[in-house]
Structure 1
Amino acid sequence: MITLYTIGFTKKSAEQFFELLRRNHIEKLVDVRINNSSQLAGFAKGSDLEYFVKNLCHADYVHITDFAPTKELLSKWRKEEVNWEQYTKIYLGLLKERSIIKKYGVKNFNNSCFLCSEETPEMCHRRLLVEFLKENCNEEVKIIHLV
């Protein structure tokens, strides 16, 4: 069985965030944001995050922009030019177009946690991503959202 985790950093202290990763024995943190260097990210800026994850959680860190929506799609979502249903359809289309299953596989992400900024997974692409991975592989996949 492959276990995939997701987490958002918004409204979490550094202590809460890293303890969730540590307690769940995350082996790899997969950053699925298009931009991981925003000042708004605080402790979750990519360069700092790599250091923290390695030293506090003894896990690897990777930033995979193929898993992120485009800047254009994010902009349309934020400006409410597309609704959630439209966003979902476009984003899932991007994942297919990018051939992420063929390119990355799913087994490589066992005990990995997919990171984005959204506080909860309901309306975040990280949830759509792990569900896409689950639906498009020949393995049994368990999804756990760390909130």
Structure 2
Amino acid sequence: MRPDYAHQPLLAPTEDILTAFKTEKGDWNSLRHRFMDLMAQRRVETCLEPGLFAGSCLLCSEALPHQCHRQLVCDYLNGKWGGALTVRHL
């Protein structure tokens, strides 16, 4: 049985990555590359399984999907898991 809510810090950017983007007005491509590298260093694909995401919702503070780490998480994991995840922005 899955919990109703599972906090998963492995899928979150570090504070310095977010600060560089939000406070220091960094560019999205820089955040994207840094976060993708961080997920690779963390090897999140070996710590989680695709089934954990079935019927799940990833939360983020960004209102729009075009600059949101949720999409980057799915892109990264789909690259490792052969497209096992689908994304639908609400």
**TM-score, with structure 2 as normaliser:** 0.87
Q: CA RMSD in A?
A: 1.6
Aligned mates of 2:16, 2:29 — CA distance in 1:
16
SS at match of 1:114: coil
Alignment correspondent of 2:61: 117
Higher-Rg member (1/2): 1
Where do 5+ consecutive residues of structure 2 fail to align? none
Alignment correspondent of 1:49: none
Aligned mates of 1:116, 1:122 — CA distance in 2:
12
Alignment correspondent of 1:134: 78
Alignment correspondent of 1:76: 20
SS at match of 1:143: coil
Aligned mates of 1:130, 1:109 — CA distance in 2:
10
Greater RCO (Cα-Cα under 8 Å, separation 6 or more)? 1
Alignment correspondent of 1:92: 36
Alignment correspondent of 1:105: 49
TM-superposed CA distance for 1:105, in Å, is 2.1
Q: Is the 8 A contact 2:36 2:76 kept in 1?
A: yes
Aligned mates of 1:107, 1:132 — CA distance in 2:
16
Alignment correspondent of 1:35: none
Q: What is the percent sequence identity of the aligned residues?
A: 28
Where do 5+ consecutive residues of structure 1 fail to align? 1-27, 29-58
TM-superposed CA distance for 1:120, in Å, is 1.1
**TM-score, with structure 1 as normaliser:** 0.55
TM-superposed CA distance for 1:77, in Å, is 0.6
